[in-house]
Structure 1
Amino acid sequence: MIWNNECPDKRNIISFSYKGYTIYDPWIREELQEAPFSWRIHEDPKAGVNPFDYYGKRAAAKFIVGIVEKNQ
């Protein structure tokens, strides 16, 4: 998930809004979306989340459908 930090143009990356944050990686908490190397912290219990429980089933499902549709 290197896109979290190093992609200069995030306009074409699937995302959603949550509590004023843009969520590019729903497997981590909202305040850590721009953290350096955030793709490494998924297993940290203070950082990693179940996106369906944390952000809600609808938001997580729409995110996944968006990724699948973009890559067909």
Structure 2
Amino acid sequence: YFALMIRDYYALSEPTDYYALSEPTVPEHLKTRIKHYKDAYYNSSIQKFLSLEPYTRASSTRAPRIYHEVA
């Protein structure tokens, strides 16, 4: 996904002779942009996990009652 994003970014905004450089260089602002994407993804996954936590706690307190009803 990041590779596609970088490729589209270059295709849209950079001139074609940018590819003619002797060594491929990633601009610093693009590095920080990718870092922001990664951090945001990481933080959102943590938030998702933490937001699921009350439900698991509630279901674990509800579980004995379900078992008693079944037994």
TM-score > 0.5 by shorter chain: no
Q: Provide the TM-score with structure 2 as the length reference.
A: 0.31
Q: Provide the TM-score with structure 1 as the length reference.
A: 0.31
Higher-RCO chain (CA-CA 8 Å, sequence separation at least 6): 2
Which of the two has greater helix per residue? 2
